[in-house]
Amino acid sequence: MVAATPAIAIGPAPDPLLDDAVRRGGARLAPIESADALVWSENPVGFPDPLPENIRWVQLGSAGVEEWFSAGLIPSDTSIVWTSAAGAFAATVAEHALTLLLAGVRALPEHLEAKTWRQQEFLSKVGTLRGATVAIVGAGGIGRALIPMLAGVGADVVAVNRSGSPVPGAIETLPATRLGEVWSRADHFVIGAPATDATHHLVGAAELAQMKPTSWVINVARGSLVHTTALVKALRDKTIGGAGLDVTDPEPLPDGHPLWDLPNVIITPHDSNPPSVRPPAFAEHVALNVARFVAGEKLTALIDPVVGY
């Protein structure tokens, strides 16, 4: 007996790249009413709730999925398999994190302010990642993609993840229970953890106080992981070197917010994963997961409906 070719629906709008990905994965396209799975590339607006009973798997289009949980669309007792796009955009977000960190360490914000040749001053301000220790707090897909980039510039990586199971390329991996050790040990920090109750305000006053006056904190994950008021104070008092923020809390960052005017901050408006790069990366991710679905294998980027990511 030959199993029928699985059918996949695409939403909310048709997308030739995704159609092609479904076919490359070995499945066929179908309307949602007769499909086995749904690939939903946008935010929850317009998402079919409840889903038709024929849907056994939903592939979402973003790496972070907390808005799906807060909208109640992924119940903890769901019988459907949910996958995110975690990992699909990891390399481009990691490139953004590397950019922010290098720009900070090499004093680009101050260079761009300067309209005169101040070599002697800058020679004492430009640093290097060579030989520096960078902590990746929440070493998921982005963190793992960042490690070879940091290795390329000669930095050492200390990774922190939930289990503490060794992350390839890191000189050490700490479990989340030993997170407290990392703040005084590393030179710089890249925050890549998912936004959950447990990671809310992961970086607050106590953590910032343990960092070096040259430390840069890069957040490419979610704004809520950093206590904004404490960060502003550390930046004003120059107890840390600076912050590179692709995400903020609140987000969007309102006009007139003190972060806009601090000289040692680089803010990018959650644009680390720009559209020009996203569709082909997401389509690759979909093709991979469709192929696994067709083969009955374990899907990648599974969402845990109980944990919340």
- Smallest gap from Cβ 55 to a second copy, in A, equals 30
Contact 154, 129 (CB under 8 A): yes
Identify which of residues 15 and 36 has a Cβ nearer to a second copy in the complex.
Answer: 15
Q: What is the DSSP string of 225-247?
A: GB-HHHHHHHHHTTSSSEEEESS
| Secondary structure of residue 140 in the 3-state scheme | coil
CA 32 to each of CA 13, 24, 73: distance values in angstroms, whole numbers, following the listed order: 12, 19, 17
Give the Cα separation of 19 and 9 in Å (integer).
Answer: 9
Active-site annotation holder among 251, 257, 284, 292 = 251
Identify which of residues 32 and 167 has a Cβ nearer to a second copy in the complex.
Answer: 167
Verify whether residue 270 is a known catalytic residue: yes
Active-site annotation holder among 200, 270, 278, 292 = 270
- Smallest gap from Cβ 131 to a second copy, in A, equals 9
Q: How many CB atoms lie within 10 A of CB 110?
A: 16
Verify whether residue 28 is a known catalytic residue: no
- Smallest gap from Cβ 1 to a second copy, in A, equals 43
Identify which of residues 31 and 148 has a Cβ nearer to a second copy in the complex.
Answer: 148
- Smallest gap from Cβ 85 to a second copy, in A, equals 16
Give the Cα separation of 253 and 223 in Å (integer).
Answer: 10
Can you give the binding site for a second copy, defined by CB under 8 A?
A: 91-92, 95-96, 98-99, 102-103, 105-106, 108-109, 111-112, 114-119, 122-130, 148-149, 151-154, 251-255, 260-261, 266-272, 274-277
Give the Cα separation of 119 and 126 in Å (integer).
Answer: 10
Q: How many CB atoms lie within 10 A of CB 267?
A: 17
Verify whether residue 95 is a known catalytic residue: no
Catalytic residues: 222, 251, 270
